[in-house]
Amino acid sequence: MSGRRAARGFTLLELLVAVALLSVLTVLTWRGMDSVLRGRDRIVSASDELRSLSVAMAQMEEDLRRSWPIRLLGLPEPSIAFSMPTDREPASLALLRETRGADAVQVQRVIYRLRDGVFERGFSAWAAPSPDGTQQVPPTPFTWQPILREVQAVDFRGWLDGRGWLAAAALAPLLAAAAQTPAGPAPAAAAVRPAIPQLTGVEVVLVSRGERIARVFAVAD
């Protein structure tokens, strides 16, 4: 009698309980693995964004540092300028920087702007206009580099000695008026044109995914 009981297999109820336990363990294991994978993806994405942001700030610092010697060339436009913000686009940062060419130092035009949620950098060669201002140099096409995506807003400010921090909207007409060359011979125009204010500091504020990122750059050596 005892031998027959010992040889008896599992009942249907016991099999159903075992299958249910295995199903629960499988679901818990899958959710745990899914949470780990999602966490890894978030870490990788955040790491990529931080790396892109670090590269962007380092590039902007290099551009601003190389724009400071341009003031010594006496060009008819400021080495650092801002565009007026509009309803469609915020203000952008435009600068002239020195770059090493094959034989001599060249001037390069660089623009930082926000376009369709992408903070990007554009650069092109800069050519000097004719001394009398009669010959217009055709603009060189820009090469645009995406720096940081999913950016909701960007804001610039500049530091003027004696006036402190000024918003880009206030600096844009001030720098444009000082750089505008009056009509007439080059020496007379240079004498009439006021001195271009020199910015010694630039602040950029980015809003990305609800986070506010601010960085201040010293322009002067």
CA distance 56 to 64: 12
Check residue 192 and give its pLDDT.
47
Mean pLDDT of the chain: 80
Q: Is the model's pLDDT at 185 over the cut of 50?
A: no
Q: What is the pLDDT of residues 109-163, one digit of tens each?
A: 999 999 999 999 999 988 776 565 555 556 678 999 998 888 999 999 999 888 8
Question: Taking Cα atoms as reference points, which of 127, 119, 189 lies closest to residue 156?
Answer: 119
- Summarize the confidence of residues 97-101 as an average pLDDT: 81
Q: Does the structure show a pLDDT above 70 at 1?
A: no
Confidence of residue 191 (pLDDT cuts 50, 70, 90): very low
What is the chain written as a DSSP string?
-HHHHHH----HHHHHHHHHHHHHHHHHHHHHHHHHHHHHHHHHHHHHHHHHHHHHHHHHHHHHHHHGGGGGGT-SS-SEEEPPP-SSS---EEEEEEEE-SSSEEEEEEEEEEETTEEEEEEEE--PPPTTS-SPPPPPPPEEEEEEESEEEEEEEEEETTTEEEEHHHHHHHHHHHHPPPSS-HHHHHHHSPPPPPP-EEEEEEEETTEEEEEEEE---
Using CB atoms within 10 A of its CB, is residue 19 exposed (0-12), middle (13-18) or buried (19+)?
A: exposed
In this structure, of 20-34, 137-151, 191-205, the range with the lowest mean pLDDT score is 191-205
Across 6-10, 47-51, 181-185, 207-211, least confident range: 181-185
Grade residue 184 by pLDDT with cuts at 50, 70 and 90: very low
